[in-house]
Structure 1
Amino acid sequence: MKALLLAAGLGTRLRPLTFDVPKCLVPINGRPLLDYWLEMLFNARIESVLVNLHYMAEKVIRFIDQSTYKGRITTVYEEKLLGTAGTLLRNKDFFGDDRILLIHADNFSIFDLNEFIQAHRSRPQNCEMTMMTFKTDTPQSCGILEIDGEKVVRAFHEKVCNPPGDLANGAVYILENSIFSFLESIGEEKLDFSNQVLPFFMGRVFTFLNDQYHRDIGTMDSYKKAQERL
């Protein structure tokens, strides 16, 4: 299994913090957010990691060059942002025939990655991906899920006013390599995962509940709450 860490975001809602620091490197308890993810990935023996870059790419590269994991990380620069699925498709060759661990690196998450991997291995036969989920205290600002008794996604509500619950999409996925055939069939370079990919796989997305901690570091309020968690 190989991983794609999406780290190209502008972090506009975190300004003024992100005027000088890319979103993926904002400090959580004095430690860059990206570092938490790298430690988790390599502790779980993920073979290699691809990190996509855009905003303040040179600062992220400098951080990686000083990391103990340097030799196992590949970076790719996007002059124009391609969207989550677009980045995945653009870097198809990096993954070969391996499964893909897809992570939005602007989230702060504490969970057992090996348990997540095991959940994917034991997924229902027709499911081609496993989505990490969490219980949110702000359901109106999240993608809220409806799942069946087998923990398979049956409906997805993206940031609606009256969401039917608090089970949210954590934007961390394990994908079967077969997803590339679908992405190629769309015939577009820029692709959005939530709007163009997830609807197609509805009923074939297994879920894994992160019952420890997960927060999207998208606003100053959520950033402060993550700091308080540690």
Structure 2
Amino acid sequence: MKAMILAAGLGTRLLPLTETTPKPLFPVAGEPVLGRMIRASARAGCDGVVVNLHHLHEKIEAYLAENDFGIKVRAVYEPVLLDTGGGIKNVRDFFGSDPFLVVNADIVTDIDLKAVADFHRSHGGAATLVLHDYPKFNSVVVEGGRITGFKRKPVPPDEKLLAFTGIQAVSPAIFDFIPDGIPYSSITAYEAMIEAGLTVRAMTLDRPFWHDMGSFEGYERAALETGAVAAFGKRGISAGGRDLSVTALCGDGGDRRWFRVEAHGKSLVAAAHGLRQGPSVNEADAFFSIGTHLKKTGAPVPEIAFYEPFTGHVYVEDLGDLNLMEAAREGGAREALYRKVVENLAKMAVRGADGFDTAWTFQTPRYDADLIMDREAGYFLDAFVNGLRGKGVDPSDFLPELRPLAEEATSGEPSFFLHRDMQSRNIMVKGGQPFFIDFQSGRLGPAQYDLASLLIDPYANLSPGFQASLLDSYLGHFSHLTRVDPEDFLHRYWLCAFFRNLQALGAFAFLSQVKKKPGFSEHIPLALESLKKRKSVLSRTPRFAALVASL
């Protein structure tokens, strides 16, 4: 038996991505969907596959030429789209006089194509369409195992409406119902066959793993679940699409979406960063590269099981739902947990810098004075002072006064690994051990910044005495790992704490006002109080200090 894969569509519902990548080359679990379907045809025992092409056909032809699928593959370019039926008629010479399979390229499924071929041979008929109950697409009328029509309304009580999976086994009789050389729908041909008294059978499946990837929503869901199967496989867990249970998790300040994926009593967490929009390094790339690097250095971060660069899905070890902010509310646990965190943080700062490649970063390679002016001091002035408090100030009146402090904070010392958002919601606790997450913004910079982020964290509201104790503890661990001038370290620490304070207020304002996440606004009073207490730094910036006092 031979097979045809319909791959000539324009992919208009997936614009603008399909302007550069044809839909059949969209990957799931690391392989283009077209390749997956060709391999499925080979597993079904097909001795040849024909693929019709139109949009960006050169790219698909190149892909087919570069890969060995263990089966003969023929590509046929359609200068003018012939629709599904016209495409089939256009390659009738490929099939000869035997029945053949026809499959849509834009579906992701584990339906056994050999079972479809066997069903068609054993049941007879001019064609067999594989159906399932999928309310969004239900449009096929079935009576006694035979298809009697498409999209008939109203539907008689004894008729059942089902959805066509895009998989079919067809006899050469179909060619008599498709005109030559013009666009023509295969559904129209089936309707004509039924009208002429030919039997078009229904092979109805109960909840198969099946996704239509013709839309962004459909493609992302197909990629999420197929990637999860691959991720479980990397961890030695054999799971199919029908074994999965997917639960959406609550996110935090970012735009990423999070899911817990379970199979056979095991679980992973999937971070959905969104589909790739260009060739440059993006957030998902950074998450994967930096997370992989940190794990190799021994840092307590989740193991990454699988990454699909095109879809932006990263599958990681499930660390549960308890973060440091929640865990530390238990009085006896707080001190022990924070002591472990500062020890691990010191080690990650030093060891994470060893072998760190700044090409992995997706924002800036280093935390430097320019970043401070833009994303911390500037962010504070734009989002908090003007955006939230409506002061209407000109940032250029204040930034020159802050620039020398930014230079002091970031120059004159070796660069360490910098997480950039080291706060209690980004530290998970599992089995009494802390783990760092959300490391995708990592770069090189002063180690004091992450420490300051942890200690002045408004979510945790650590007492000044506890902050001082943890600062001493960190300095002790840090000095065993690298050479430290304690006086210089503390000087830069207070500068980093000041700028982190500005960043936090800018972020709280932006997230609550622009992103409409009101929960962040409740942390503003504490963060603003913390900023106003930074007298040693504010005393060096009289104009900016006056602005802060007015807030």
| Paired residues for 1:47-126 under 5 Å | 47-69=47-69, 72-123=72-123, 125=124
SS at match of 1:79: coil
Counterpart CA distance in 1 for 2:17 and 2:160 is 32
Letter in 2 for 1:222: G
Among candidates 218, 225, 237, match of residue 229 of structure 1: 225
Partner of 2:202: 207
Q: Indicate if the aligned counterparts of 1:136 and 1:166 stay in contact, CA closer than 8 A.
A: no
Q: Higher Cα Rg: structure 1 or 2?
A: 2
Q: Indicate if the aligned counterparts of 1:131 and 1:174 stay in contact, CA closer than 8 A.
A: yes
More strand by proportion, 1 or 2?
1
Q: Indicate if the aligned counterparts of 1:64 and 1:70 stay in contact, CA closer than 8 A.
A: no
Letter in 1 for 2:128: T
Q: Which runs of 4+ in 1 moved over 6 A?
A: none
Letter in 2 for 1:178: A
Identify if the C-alpha distance between structure 1 residues 135 and 143 changes in structure 2 by more than 3 Å, giving closer, same or farther: closer
Counterpart CA distance in 2 for 1:133 and 1:58 is 33
Identify if the C-alpha distance between structure 1 residues 58 and 188 changes in structure 2 by more than 3 Å, giving closer, same or farther: closer
Following TM superposition, by how much is the alpha carbon of 1:56 offset from its aligned partner in structure 2, in angstroms? 0.8
SS at match of 2:128: strand
Following TM superposition, by how much is the alpha carbon of 1:71 offset from its aligned partner in structure 2, in angstroms? 6.1
Q: Relative contact order (alpha carbons < 8 A, sep ≥ 6): 1 or 2 greater?
A: 1
Identify if the C-alpha distance between structure 1 residues 27 and 188 changes in structure 2 by more than 3 Å, giving closer, same or farther: closer
Partner of 1:128: 126
Following TM superposition, by how much is the alpha carbon of 1:49 offset from its aligned partner in structure 2, in angstroms? 0.6
Partner of 1:31: 31
Following TM superposition, by how much is the alpha carbon of 1:112 offset from its aligned partner in structure 2, in angstroms? 1.3
Letter in 2 for 1:136: Y
Query: Quick check: 1:147 aligned with 2:142?
Result: yes
Q: Indicate if the aligned counterparts of 1:144 and 1:167 stay in contact, CA closer than 8 A.
A: yes
Counterpart CA distance in 1 for 2:84 and 2:38 is 19
Counterpart CA distance in 2 for 1:24 and 1:11 is 9
1:76-134, CA deviations, whole angstroms, 9 ceiling, x for partnerless residues?
111100111111112111111121211111111211112111111122x5x21000112
Counterpart CA distance in 1 for 2:14 and 2:127 is 31
Unaligned runs of 5+ in 2: 227-551
Following TM superposition, by how much is the alpha carbon of 1:187 offset from its aligned partner in structure 2, in angstroms? 5.6
Partner of 1:20: 20
Partner of 2:189: 197
Identify if the C-alpha distance between structure 1 residues 187 and 64 changes in structure 2 by more than 3 Å, giving closer, same or farther: closer
Query: Quick check: 1:167 aligned with 2:165?
Result: no
**Pairs aligned (count):** 220
Counterpart CA distance in 1 for 2:165 and 2:202 is 10
1:52-83, CA deviations, whole angstroms, 9 ceiling, x for partnerless residues?
11111111011111211276001111110011
Unaligned runs of 5+ in 1: none
Q: Indicate if the aligned counterparts of 1:152 and 1:205 stay in contact, CA closer than 8 A.
A: yes
Counterpart CA distance in 1 for 2:57 and 2:181 is 25
